[in-house]
Chains A and B, each alone.
Chain A
Amino acid sequence: MKNKLSKWLMVASVFASFGSFPQVMAQESLDINALVTQSEKAAYYSGKDGRSDARMMIVDAQGRKQMRQFTILRRDVADNGDQQMMVFFSRPSDVKDTVFRVEKRTDINTEDDRWLYLPALDLVKRISSGDKRTSFVGSHFYYEDVSGRATSEDSFTLKQETDKSYVLKAIPKLPETVEFDYYLVTIDKATSLPVLIDFFKGESDNYRRVEAVKVEDIQGYPTVVRSKVSDLQSGGYTLMEFRNISYDISLPDDVFTERSLRNPPRQWLK
C-alpha cells in the first residue's frame, strides 16, 4: 500500500489539472506575464477554498485499468501563492482511508511539506520532497501537472493567437531537470484556462499531451471537470473527473492539520 502511495504525491490544486504557467516575458502589445498569471489563477486558485470528489482511470499500454477515487479539500493562503490541501482516498480498497496532506509553497527556495497517513499502521509518514515530474499516484499525471509547475521555471513566448485562444511556447530554464525540451500550451481566451499542453522532445517529437476535455461553470468559476493525459509513445493514458465541486465553503483551519489524517472531517467529505 505504501508502495502505491508514498510517492504519489500530491495532489494538488485540485480543481485543475494542468501544468502551470509560469513566467513571463513581456512581449509586444500582449502582456504575457499578466496572461500567465491570470491563467494560473483560473486553473488553480478558484475561490478562497473548495472541495471536490475526484476519480481517475489509469489505462496502461496493454489496456489494463486501475481506478483511484478521492476527495480533495483545498484552501488558498493567497491567490497565486501558498496552498493547503488534504486528499482523502476511498478507492481502491488497499488505499482506502489513506490521507495526504500537503502544504504547497510557491517560494522557489522552499520545498512543499507532505505527509501521508497509512491507516493499517496508524502511521503518519512524512515524505521528503522529490522530483516533481514523477507519476502522481501511479497515473500518467505528474505531480507537477496537478499541483502546478513553478512559475519561474520556463520562458514563454507567444507562438500563435486566434479568435479563441493563445498558444504559448515554454522553454525550461534548467533543461537538465526535466525530460522535455519545450511545451506548447493553449490558453482559452474566454476562461483563461489552459486547455491543451503538448510536450516535445527535440523539435517535433510530441510524446505527451495534457488536455481539458470538459469545462463547466461552477459558481461563476470556469472549472476543468474532465481532463486527460496521454503518453503518446506507449498509448497509455489517464482520465480524471471531478464531481460535487463547491467553492468558498469556509473550511476552518483545523481541517488542514494532523488531526484530519486520523479523524477525517466528515462534514466536508460528504
Chain B
Amino acid sequence: MTQLFFTILICLSITFNVFAQDEFDAMDDEWNMDGWEEEESKDYSINGFLEVAAGIRLSKDSVISTDKTLADLRLQFQYDYQFDASELSFTADTYYDGVQDQTRAQIREAAWQSNLGFAGDWGSKFDVKLGQQVLTWGTGDYVFLNDLFPKDYQSFFSGRDDEYLKAPSLSAKLSGYFDLVNIDLVITPSFTPDVYINGDYFSFFSPLAGQQIAPRFDVSSSLKPSSPEYAVRLYKSIGATEYAGYFYNGYFKTPSSITEAFEPTFSKLKVYGASVRSTLGVGLFNAEFAYYDSVDDSNGTNPYVPNSQSRWLIGYEQELVKNLTGSMQWYLEHTHDHAALIDHSFAPEYEVAQNRVWFTQRLMYRAMQQTLTINAFNFYSTTDNDGYLKLSASYSPVDTWQLTAGANIFYGEEGHTFFGQFEDATNIFARFRYFY
C-alpha cells in the first residue's frame, strides 16, 4: 500500500515538474507573463499539496509498542469558487496514517461565506460563514485562553504543520461591523472537542492509576454533550490598540471530568475574558484574561469535575537583530477553591499547584532570502519544573516544495506534571511537501 502511494507520488512529482518548468520557460522572455489575464478571469481555483512526513520517539515508551510518532502520506485538495458576492471554499485532507495503520480523511473547510448586503443596507454590515471551518481568535502564541475552538494536540506534539494545531468544526459564524464595536457570534450545533492525547500516539499520566497509561480511549457517545457551543467576541481598535471581550458557553474541550463510574466525560464550562494588543516601543505587547467558570463545580468540592480558574497572559515580541525575532510570554493559571480541591481529590498528591506559571520564549530566524526559516519555541513552567521545546527548520527555495525537520522535546522533574508526563513522547520529525 505504502509503496503504491510512493509510486504515485513520484509520478505526480515528475508531471508537476514538467508543468512548472514550462510555465517558467514562458517567462524566460523576461517579461512575458503569459497566462496571467486568463488565470484572473477564472471563477474557481484548485490548489493543494502532497506530503510525506515521518517522526520517531527518541526513547522507549513502556506502554506504547511503536517508536513511530508520525508517518503520514497526505494529499490536500483545495477548491474555491467565487460567486459575485460570496465564496465557496472546500479543503479536504486524505491521508494514510502509518502510526495507526489507517487511511483517514478530514474536511478542514467546506463553507459558504458571504456579505448580507442582499438583505438591504442593514445587512451590508454583516458577514456570515456557514459550514465546516477553522476558527481562531485571541492574542496568545501557542497559548489559548479565550479561543475555545478545537485544537489538535496529537498533531501538535507529533510535528505536523502548525495549521493542524487548529481542528475544524461545523459552525455558523455571524460577524457584524459597527462604529461602536464589531461582533462575532459563533454557534457550533454539535459540541466539537479537542483532539486530545488519548494514548493513540502518546501515553499520559493517570492520577487515578498513579502511572503512565495509553488506553486509546474515546468518550462514549452517551457521555458526549448534546447542547450547542456558543462563542462571542466583541472587538474594537482605537488607534494602534486592539481591545476585545469574549464569552463562551459550552464544555471543557478535553474530557477532564469523570462520571461516578470513572468514565471520562466533558463538563459544562462558561468563559468570560478580555484582551488588549498594541505596539510598545519597537515591539508588540499583548495581555489577555479569562475566567473559566466550571458550572458543575462552583465551590470546588466536586472531585469528578475540574475547579474554576482564572488565567492571565502577558506577552511581548520584537525584532532583535535583522531577520531574528524574539518573543516572550508569561502565563498564570490560578485554580479557585484550591483547598477544597485538595480536600476532596482522589489523588491530592498529583493535583496542580494553586498558581501554575509558564514562561514561553520564541526565536524565529529567517535566512537565505527567506527560503530558510528556523523556529525555536520553549514552554517552561517554574512551578512544575517541566517544559516543552519545539524546534523546526523549514527550507523552500522554490514555489513547488518545502522540506521541514524538527524536534518536540518534553522534559520535567516529575512524571505527573503537564509536560513532564510526555517525556517519553520526545520525538524528531521530517516532512516533505510538494505543492501543485
- The interface of chain A, by Cβ under 8 A from chain B, is 1-4, 6-8, 53, 55, 57-58, 60, 64-67, 69, 90-94, 96-97, 103, 111, 113, 120-124, 126-131, 133-135, 137-140, 213-214, 226, 236, 239, 241, 243-244, 254, 257-259, 262-263, 266-267, 270
Known contacts A53-B40, A93-B435, A113-B279; decide if A122 and B127 are in contact (CB<8 Å): no
Is B398's CB within 8 Å of the partner chain A?
A: yes
A18 CB to nearest chain B CB (Å): 18
- Residues of B35-77 whose CB lies within 8 A of A: 36-37, 40, 45, 47-49
Which residues of the other chain, B, contact A7 by a CB distance below 8 angstroms?
323, 325, 366, 370
Which residues of the other chain, A, contact B397 by a CB distance below 8 angstroms?
60, 64, 66
The digit string for B1-41, where 1 denotes a CB below 8 A from any CB of A, is: 00000000000000000000000100100110100110010
Is B260's CB within 8 Å of the partner chain A?
A: no
Are A241 and B136 in touch, CB under 8 angstroms?
A: no
Give B317's nearest chain A residue, CB to CB: A128
A to B CB contacts below 8 Å, 12 in the list: A6-B364, A7-B323, A57-B27, A65-B24, A91-B399, A121-B134, A128-B317, A214-B31, A258-B182, A266-B82, A266-B84, A267-B85
Give A243's nearest chain B residue, CB to CB: B36
Are B373 and A3 in touch, CB under 8 angstroms?
A: yes
Known contacts A55-B36, A135-B369, A263-B127; decide if A130 and B398 are in contact (CB<8 Å): no
Other-chain residue from A1, A127, A135, A241 in contact with B31 (beta carbon distance below 8 A): A241
Are A111 and B279 in touch, CB under 8 angstroms?
A: yes
Give A105's nearest chain B residue, CB to CB: B240
Other-chain residue from A93, A113, A139 in contact with B47 (beta carbon distance below 8 A): A93
Other-chain residue from B136, B175, B400, B436 in contact with A123 (beta carbon distance below 8 A): B136
Are B369 and A138 in touch, CB under 8 angstroms?
A: yes
Complex-state Cα separation, A71 to B92, whole angstroms: 26
With A69-B36, A111-B279, A128-B325 given, name 14 new contacts (CB 8 A): A1-B163, A65-B24, A65-B398, A92-B399, A93-B48, A96-B78, A97-B80, A122-B136, A130-B322, A135-B369, A258-B182, A258-B237, A262-B175, A263-B175
Which residues of the other chain, A, contact B282 by a CB distance below 8 angstroms?
111, 128-129
Are B396 and A4 in touch, CB under 8 angstroms?
A: yes
Which residues of the other chain, A, contact B132 by a CB distance below 8 angstroms?
none
Which residues of the other chain, A, contact B323 by a CB distance below 8 angstroms?
7, 131, 134
Which residues of the other chain, A, contact B399 by a CB distance below 8 angstroms?
66-67, 91-94
Is B301's CB within 8 Å of the partner chain A?
A: no
B97 CB to nearest chain A CB (Å): 20
Which residues of the other chain, B, contact A65 by a CB distance below 8 angstroms?
24, 27, 398
Complex-state Cα separation, A57 to B435, whole angstroms: 18
Are A93 and B366 in touch, CB under 8 angstroms?
A: no
Are B177 and A93 in touch, CB under 8 angstroms?
A: no
B49 CB to nearest chain A CB (Å): 7
Other-chain residue from A121, A124, A138 in contact with B371 (beta carbon distance below 8 A): A138
Complex-state Cα separation, A3 to B396, whole angstroms: 9
Which residues of the other chain, B, contact A257 by a CB distance below 8 angstroms?
177
Most B C-beta atoms less than 10 A away, residue of A64, A65, A90:
A65
Give B47's nearest chain A residue, CB to CB: A93
Complex-state Cα separation, A139 to B399, whole angstroms: 12
Complex-state Cα separation, A252 to B399, whole angstroms: 34
- Residues of B122-160 whose CB lies within 8 A of A: 127, 129, 133-137
Is B212's CB within 8 Å of the partner chain A?
A: no
* Total inter-chain residue pairs, C-beta < 8 Å: 147
B350 CB to nearest chain A CB (Å): 33
Is B166's CB within 8 Å of the partner chain A?
A: yes
- Residues of B328-376 whose CB lies within 8 A of A: 364, 366, 369-371, 373
Complex-state Cα separation, A267 to B85, whole angstroms: 8
Which residues of the other chain, B, contact A64 by a CB distance below 8 angstroms?
397-398
Complex-state Cα separation, A127 to B177, whole angstroms: 23
- B interface residues, how many (CB within 8 angstroms): 66
A-side interface mostly: mixed
A7 CB to nearest chain B CB (Å): 6
A230 CB to nearest chain B CB (Å): 12
Is B277's CB within 8 Å of the partner chain A?
A: yes
Which residues of the other chain, A, contact B277 by a CB distance below 8 angstroms?
126
A231 CB to nearest chain B CB (Å): 9
Known contacts A93-B435, A239-B31; decide if A128 and B284 are in contact (CB<8 Å): yes
Complex-state Cα separation, A69 to B45, whole angstroms: 14
A187 CB to nearest chain B CB (Å): 24
Are A3 and B134 in touch, CB under 8 angstroms?
A: no
Are B284 and A126 in touch, CB under 8 angstroms?
A: yes
The digit string for B228-250, where 1 denotes a CB below 8 A from any CB of A, is: 00000001010010100000000
Most B C-beta atoms less than 10 A away, residue of A53, A113, A130, A266:
A130
Known contacts A3-B370, A64-B398, A92-B399; decide if A131 and B31 are in contact (CB<8 Å): no
Complex-state Cα separation, A91 to B436, whole angstroms: 11
Complex-state Cα separation, A93 to B400, whole angstroms: 9
Complex-state Cα separation, A121 to B149, whole angstroms: 11
Other-chain residue from B108, B135, B319, B373 in contact with A128 (beta carbon distance below 8 A): B319
- Residues of B205-243 whose CB lies within 8 A of A: 235, 237, 240, 242
Complex-state Cα separation, A226 to B48, whole angstroms: 30
Give A254's nearest chain B residue, CB to CB: B177
Are B134 and A122 in touch, CB under 8 angstroms?
A: yes
Which residues of the other chain, B, contact A90 by a CB distance below 8 angstroms?
45
Which residues of the other chain, A, contact B369 by a CB distance below 8 angstroms?
58, 60, 135, 138-140, 236
Known contacts A93-B435, A94-B435; decide if A129 and B396 are in contact (CB<8 Å): no
Complex-state Cα separation, A202 to B253, whole angstroms: 61
A26 CB to nearest chain B CB (Å): 33
Are A259 and B85 in touch, CB under 8 angstroms?
A: no
B405 CB to nearest chain A CB (Å): 13
Is B283's CB within 8 Å of the partner chain A?
A: yes
Complex-state Cα separation, A131 to B319, whole angstroms: 8
Complex-state Cα separation, A105 to B242, whole angstroms: 17
The digit string for B368-412, where 1 denotes a CB below 8 A from any CB of A, is: 011101000000000000000000001011111010000000000
Known contacts A55-B33, A96-B47, A138-B371; decide if A263 and B162 are in contact (CB<8 Å): no
